[in-house]
Structure 1
Amino acid sequence: MHARRESLEPWLRSFIAESGGIAGTVHLVEGDALALAAAVNIPEKVQEVTRVVPRGKGMAGLAWERGQPVQTCNLQTDSSGDVRPGARAVAAQAAVALPVRDASAGVRAVVGIAFAGERDLDQEELARLAERAGALPA
């Protein structure tokens, strides 16, 4: 995992900067779970809890399960049940988890990005973020 982490972290930093975010993660599909492969500005406590994410748990697990972006306008106050309590430790508000597909249309990764302010991402912005996330190195 360390070689992957080193190669994905520079991409993630660039993705966050280009998208106006302040924090983010990359989880790769490994068998029946997501494995944390890169994290930027994510507290160590949150990284520990999200090293392995089951399908359907938290924003990343739900994005994988649903095959579509899962977002919140505010990590701190979300009551949908999609956001796990540990996510509140990230100093951010709006966030989205974006599934990244492989050549056969299966989800191969989930890219998460968080923003400083509270907001809803419209379909156009979600599409732009999803397109950028799709450039995740294989």
Structure 2
Amino acid sequence: MNHSESIINSIKETSGDINWQELLETIISSFDCTTGTIHELDNSTNLLILKSHKGIPDFLLPKMSSIPIGKGMAGIAAERKTPVEMCNLQTDDSGVARPAAKETKVEGSIAVPMLLEGKLYGTLGIAKPVPYDFTKVESDALMKIGEEIARSISS
């Protein structure tokens, strides 16, 4: 998937002034997804704050606007500093996905931490409307994209 390289290059070219919506939509379409979120870590509150979203029903936005570390897919990805994935969020009973998440109607989903040198800057989540297992190549590409977003946030 060479799309990730072009996404990383476009982040590098923005020099810190990221158009969050445009970036998220590019990532979503590059991975053939329909839904996504970018959350940035607020170090003062230790909450993940929603920067951009696509495909999230309006009534869910209040629940997703700030997420505690360790809650839901984004919060667990942030806590573990590793990708959290579900083949089908609709049938998952692990407790990782919050009950409201099922109302997004997505199935195959992944949340990755945005890390730079082991430090958390936020999370990136994308999802498909069908059951799907993201490949290791896709997961690694999302981690690299997350790292580049973290680098941009840190500068």
Shift of 1:18: 0.7
Shift of 1:130: 1.9
TM-score, reference length from structure 1: 0.89
> 1:56 maps to what in 2?
70
> 1:17 maps to what in 2?
29
User: Is 2:71 aligned against 1:30?
Assistant: no
Q: Which of these residues, 102, 117, 131, is aligned with residue 118 of structure 1?
A: 131
8 Å CA contact 1:19–1:129 kept in 2: the answer is: no
Letter in 2 for 1:61: G
Unaligned runs of 5+ in 2: 1-17
The count of corresponding residues between Structure 1 and Structure 2 is 132
1:26 alignment partner, SS class: strand
| Rg (Cα) greater in structure | 2
Residues in 2 aligned to 1:101 and 1:20: alpha-carbon distance in whole angstroms? 23
Give the fraction of aligned pairs with identical amino acids, expressed as a percent: 30
> 1:90 maps to what in 2?
104
TM-score, reference length from structure 2: 0.79
Q: Which of these residues, 55, 59, 70, is aligned with residue 84 of structure 2?
A: 70
Range with greater deviation from structure 2 (104-113 or 6-15): 6-15
Shift of 1:45: 1.8
Range with greater deviation from structure 2 (61-70 or 46-55): 46-55
> 1:3 maps to what in 2?
none
Provide the aligned C-alpha RMSD in A: 1.5
Structure 1 or 2: more helix by fraction = 2
Residues in 2 aligned to 1:38 and 1:133: alpha-carbon distance in whole angstroms? 14
Q: Which of these residues, 147, 151, 155, is aligned with residue 134 of structure 1?
A: 147
Unaligned runs of 5+ in 1: 1-5
